[in-house]
Chains A and B, each alone.
Chain A
Amino acid sequence: MNLCLPAVFLPLLAAPAIGVFGTRAQGAMANLALNVIVFGFTVGVFFEPGSGLIHADDLGMIFGALTSFVCMTTALSNLSFVWSGNEVLSVRRWRVYHAMCQVVLGSTLLGFYADNIGLLWVAVEGATIAATVGVSLSRTASALEAAWKYFILGGVGIALALFGTMLVYLAAQPALGPGLAAMSFTALGAHVTKLDGSLLTLAFVFLLFGYGTKAALVPLHGWLPDAYAEGPIPLTTALSTLMLNVALIAILRFRHLMQANFAGGGGALQPGVFLLTLGLASLLLTAFSLSRRRDARRFFGFSSIEHSGIAVFAFGIGGPAAIFGGLLHMLVHTLIKSALFQALMRGAALRGSAAPGNYGFSHLRGMIHSNKYVGWLLGGCVFALTGLPPSGLFASEFIIISQTIQRDPYMSLPLGLGLVLCAVAIIRHVGPLVFGHAPPHTKHQKAGVGINLAGLQLALGFGIAFAMPWFLLNALSSVAAALQ
């Protein structure tokens, strides 16, 4: 039985029901229950990957399970967000909010499991529309501006990606002829040297800019900080982790087609240059914009741009080890970022309200005076983002840097510079955020049990990087070798 199908379609089919019925609390519970079930399915996919239009390859399995895991923990912390009553929304908008959470989950999973370039595009577009609706939900002026920006930039990206998708189809015509086969990743991969190289190059440029918009690569990143800062924070967690990953994976898959075509003498250009340029641009731009942010969510939004830039850079370097490093970087970053946003939400709730607009660094400083555990956890997560040891990101960045020195030595200089600048900009915030003077009238408060989940994710991020279980190591290595 193909377990990918229920994993994808259960949330998508449940979304309309959640959007129409139920109170705020029922919606949150249903959201959590669905997430738990879907997580079960995505774990089951490891044993029943299925076949055909929607099936899981190794890459899809790993990232599908990660996605649903992060969604599940987010749904759990969403409970406290909903019950705290910080975000004042009408019942109807709460319903829409929970429905959109499900649509984002379902379409992201579809993006990972789809063995069809058209279906992949549909998945990304669906997730974008759902996320846009989610971002605009609080209906403040800045939320509307963020959503509009997201829609316009996202629309441009979607258009470019679809054009690229059609060009890939056209490039496959000489080898695969008309029909569904010319859109399937499996078939494209099998006949990759027979694809039309120059068309594939043209297609790749469109796809890179299209999916690059979703992965928030500079210069297409404009929507991300605003969308992160203005949406309900559980949705931000989902955005920061799921959307970036699905777009990065898409870029990786198309990069592989082009690289293999180049290696097989099909006439395509080497994709590395494009990816290296965009990756470095993202890294360096964030290095210089991080230090000027005063809002924590916007700040960590820029840090997501940095990390997606690093992953794309790793894909650009190429070779199995660098791809492995890039994928590991995505895995660990996802876990850390989602832990960070959950801790941030809890911290902001301790300071009064978890609604957007309460995430200024000056407002959150000295978290340890509000709650010791949340303070340390927040500090740990922010520190982990720098990529300094013992953060899990250190392992992946180490692999990427050593591969860069080996394959493209000149590139290692700007890469190192960007990494150091970003680390400095981030680490400056750890001290004040955790130990600084708290705002007046701060009282010590209980944080609740849910916060342990954030700690668990941080630990998982550490564990995956330094003590990766053998089955994951095997799967990830074989993926990296196949996609080199």
Chain B
Amino acid sequence: MNLDYPLAHLMGGVILLCAFSMLSQRRLAAMITLYQVQALTLSAAAFWQGFAQGAGDLYLTGLITLAIKGILLPMGMRQIVQRFNMVRAVETTVPVGFSMILGVGLIGIAVLVVLPTTVSAVSLTREDLAISLSVVLLGLLVMTLRRNAIAQVIGFLSTENGLVLAATGMPGMPFVAELSVALLVLLAFLVIGVFLFRIREHFDTLDLVGIEEIERRGR
């Protein structure tokens, strides 16, 4: 039996499920764990695609994902959470039920947009693309709904995972793209890390509601 499709879809599904659960998670620590599971699954998906397509550079993508996103970034984020003493804190501005309904809506949109436009492409790519667009949109939703800076960062990183999932599904996509994504995520994360500390310095909180200085001054 050919395992190409079922396994790739299974891993895509797990990644989507993680992105979706992030919407409902109230605790930062749990969100980080979800992100880690998502990244680990992504690296497994990259390895599997590398094996199925016979493309060596996808193994490298998988390794980078595993090292940076699966291990380093979650470790860094956990440290920040510990340091800021936010282990138990998470709030949502929108009720969880409502944000999940929005999430389901976005997944529906992604499927409805991608499947009809990609009739000519290979079916594996089509469904992979629908899944990864859903992950991207869900990540953006997390970024919009959460007011906590770390939660927004996790949303951003989850978006990036969706993008890499799409890239691994593309037949023969040159490696340049994935490498740069991985490196730039790291860079972006460094930048964000610095930000977090500075925001913390200035406002004694990572709650972004409190920093709307410019609004108050009346531009």
Contacts and interface: CB of A to CB of B under 8 A. Distances in A.
B212 A145 contact: yes
A162 B211 contact: no
Given A125-B184, A151-B192, A156-B140, A166 B125 contact: no
Nearest to B183: A122
B214 A159 contact: no
Contacts of A115: none
A165 B167 CA distance: 10
Interface string A172-190: 0110011110010000000
A142 B202 CA distance: 10
A172 to B, nearest CB: 11
A144 B199 contact: yes
Nearest to B125: A170
B156 A226 contact: no
B199 A148 contact: yes
Given A139-B198, A141-B213, A148 B149 contact: yes
Contacts of A118: 174, 176-177, 180
Contact of A148 (B114, B176, B195): B195
Which residue of B114, B156, B219 has the most chain A CB atoms within 10 A of its CB atom? B219
Interface stretch (B1-9, B78-86, B88-96, B115-123): B115-123
Which residue of B152, B213, B218 has the most chain A CB atoms within 10 A of its CB atom? B213
Contacts of A147: 195
Nearest to B212: A145
Interface in B134-191: 136, 139-140, 143, 149, 152, 156, 159-160, 162-163, 166-167, 170-174, 176-177, 180-181, 184, 187-188, 191
Given A202-B117, A298-B219, A163 B136 contact: yes
A198 B120 CA distance: 10
B129 interface: yes
B116 to A, nearest CB: 8
B97 to A, nearest CB: 25
Contacts of A177: 172
B159 A294 contact: no
Interface size class of B (residues with CB under 8 A): 35 or more
B133 interface: yes
Interface in A164-212: 165-167, 169-170, 173-174, 177-180, 183, 196, 198-199, 201-202
A397 interface: no
Interface in A103-146: 116, 118-119, 121-122, 125-126, 129, 132-133, 136, 139, 141-142, 144-146
Contacts of B177: 118, 121, 162, 165-166
Contacts of B171: 173, 178
A169 B125 CA distance: 12
Nearest to A166: B166
B174 A180 contact: yes
Given A159-B139, A173-B121, A174-B120, A294 B219 contact: yes
A33 interface: no
Contact of B163 (A133, A136, A162): A162
B118 to A, nearest CB: 6
A118 B202 CA distance: 37
Contacts of A155: 143, 156, 159, 188
A169 B188 CA distance: 25
Which residue of B114, B177, B208 has the most chain A CB atoms within 10 A of its CB atom? B177
B113 interface: yes
A139 B160 CA distance: 27
Contacts of B194: 136
A159 B167 CA distance: 12
28 contacts: A118-B177, A121-B177, A122-B180, A125-B184, A144-B211, A151-B188, A151-B195, A152-B143, A152-B156, A156-B140, A156-B159, A159-B139, A159-B156, A159-B163, A163-B133, A163-B166, A165-B177, A166-B173, A170-B118, A170-B121, A170-B129, A170-B170, A173-B121, A179-B174, A196-B121, A198-B118, A202-B114, A294-B219
Given A155-B143, A166-B166, A179-B174, 4 more contacts: A159-B156, A169-B173, A170-B125, A180-B174
Interface of B: 113-114, 116-121, 125, 129, 132-133, 136, 139-140, 143, 149, 152, 156, 159-160, 162-163, 166-167, 170-174, 176-177, 180-181, 184, 187-188, 191-192, 194-195, 198-199, 202-203, 208, 211-214, 217-219
